[in-house]
């Protein structure tokens, strides 16, 4: 397409701009479906160790529950590709039934993975934050979401929750965070009155 009339500039709004205009930006109140949301604190020794501690917590606590209960249609949102590689290797080692959608996957791989996830042939889907940022895939069949870490863009939190199946009952959202995620949690849980 051609630009006929002139220029335009796209930039991300800041929280200060939202506050000046009376908008409080994306919040947890933007979630449209009623679903239980659990924020789980991950013990963390230091800032440098947070990725390892989060993976260890997932391997010791969350993954055994997933494997034991065999919950189908569980999406695991992973904000970092490095965390994705670690988590994928862990799931391969534990022989979990999963599929992954990343920013580097071919279109055919993504389509095949989404279909298998929707049909229940694969019970877990690993989904990276960059894949969501660049492609905004519509993932059907999600009943449970686990945030391995909170999204870098806080509007993705409510956006991901709003992709859950219509009329979902008994679904569950679990967010794993640590002491260093407090700013991200403030963005997601910001109340409309503050």
Per-residue three-class SS string for 162-184: CCCCCCCCCCEEEEEECHHHHHH
Q: Which residues of the chain have pLDDT under 50?
A: 1, 167, 183, 186-194
CA distances from 111 to 83, 92, 106, 116, 138 (A): 23, 21, 9, 9, 11
- Alpha-carbon span 114 to 102, nearest angstrom: 12
- Residues 133-162 have pLDDT tens digits of 888 888 888 888 898 988 888 778 877 777
Furthest-apart CA atoms within the chain: distance in Å:
60
18 by Cβ neighbours in 10 Å (0-12 / 13-18 / 19+) ranks as middle
Determine the pLDDT at residue 193.
Answer: 43
Determine the pLDDT at residue 167.
Answer: 45
Determine the pLDDT at residue 26.
Answer: 52
Provide the CA 102 distance to its chain's centre, in angstroms. Answer: 12
- Residues 101-110 have pLDDT tens digits of 999 999 999 9
DSSP label at residue 28: G
Determine the pLDDT at residue 22.
Answer: 52
- Alpha-carbon span 109 to 89, nearest angstrom: 18
């Amino acid at each position: 397409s051609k630009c006929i009339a002139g220029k335009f500039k796209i930039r991300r709004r800041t929280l200060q701009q939202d506050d000046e205009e009376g908008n409080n930006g994306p919040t947890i109140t933007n979630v449209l479906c009623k679903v239980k949301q659990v924020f789980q604190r991950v013990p963390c020794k230091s800032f440098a160790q947070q990725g390892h501690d989060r993976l260890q917590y997932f391997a010791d606590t969350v993954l055994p529950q997933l494997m034991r209960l065999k919950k189908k249609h569980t999406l695991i949102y992973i904000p970092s590709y490095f965390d994705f590689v670690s988590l994928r290797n862990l799931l391969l080692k534990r022989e979990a039934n999963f599929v992954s959608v990343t920013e580097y996957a071919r279109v055919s791989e993504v389509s095949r993975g989404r279909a298998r996830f929707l049909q229940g042939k694969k019970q877990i889907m690993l989904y990276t934050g960059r894949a969501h940022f660049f492609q905004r895939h519509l993932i059907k069949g999600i009943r449970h979401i686990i945030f391995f870490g909170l999204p870098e863009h806080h509007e993705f939190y409510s956006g991901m929750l709003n992709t859950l199946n219509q009329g979902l009952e008994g679904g569950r959202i679990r967010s794993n965070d640590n002491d260093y995620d407090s700013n991200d949690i403030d963005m997601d849980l910001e109340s409309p009155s503050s």
